[in-house]
Amino acid sequence: MMLLGFGISSEFVHWPMSWLAKEVNSKLECVISGKDPAILGDRVCEMMKEFPHLDIKDLKLKMEKDMGIWITPVQEKDYVEKIQGYYGWSAGNTALSLACEGGAEEIYLLGFDLSDYNLSFNNIYKGTDNYLPNSAKGFNPANWIVQMTNVFEQYRDSVFYWTDSSWESWADKFMPKNVKHIDKDEFMNKVGIF
């Protein structure tokens, strides 16, 4: 199959079941994302050269996850907008920045627990369908920390309430003063959840 000028085996092209039952209209819009299996091996080798301390089995597990091209239809009612300037950013940090761009003055960070490569993967979805298995190691959070810090510093007029952060002890070392660490009870009291 020729997709975007690349020859990708049809077994690695994933269409939604709802589209398979219909004739695809050339006017339909879609989001295409994924990993080309033909170059994945080279990327694993590059990563091992750049980061030789990584566990090769764990790296392959993560990089080979969801291999292929994923095509998601977009309909007008989905309100999907193209976001510029966040290539390579995590979804959470992109959301933080977009909230600030939209004028949010108080932002609550939930689930921004970061990770530690030397510990097991910390995520409530681990081991479930379409997610990494329980055996996966954590991730190096350096890229996430750089992105978060950029947002915190760029939007100094916003206050960020980081809920249940394991990074509270590091706050005075690299976090701006507009980052406040709170626990779940404080969060629930602030937003009125009981």
Distance CA 133, CA 108 (A): 28
Domain assignments of the chain as residue spans, ordered by start: 2-76, 91-191
Mean pLDDT of 3-23: 61
Tens digit of each residue's pLDDT (9 = 90 or more) over 57-97: 988 888 888 777 777 777 777 777 778 888 889 899 999 99
Give, in order, the Cα–Cα distances in Å from 99 to each of 109, 151, 161.
11, 10, 13
Distance CA 110, CA 171 (A): 17
Q: Show Cβ contacts of residue 99 under 8 Å, excluding neighbours closer than 6 positions.
A: 107
The rounded mean pLDDT for the chain is 81
DSSP-assigned letter for residue 23? P
Say what the pLDDT of residue 150 is.
Answer: 93
Please, what is the Cα angle at 69 between 55 and 92, to 5 degrees?
65
> Does residue 9 surpass a pLDDT of 70?
no
CA dihedral 76, 78, 81, 87 (to 10 degrees): -130
pTM of the model: 0.72
Coarse DSSP helix, strand, coil percentages of the chain, rounded to the nearest 5 percent: 35, 20, 45
**CA nearest neighbour of 106 among 69, 149, 159:** 159
Amino acid at 68: G
- Measure CA 153 to chain center: 21
Give, in order, the Cα–Cα distances in Å from 31 to each of 4, 14, 51, 82.
12, 12, 31, 10
Q: Show Cβ contacts of residue 37 under 8 Å, excluding neighbours closer than 6 positions.
A: 8, 9, 12, 67, 68
Say what the pLDDT of residue 81 is.
Answer: 78
Say what the pLDDT of residue 2 is.
Answer: 46
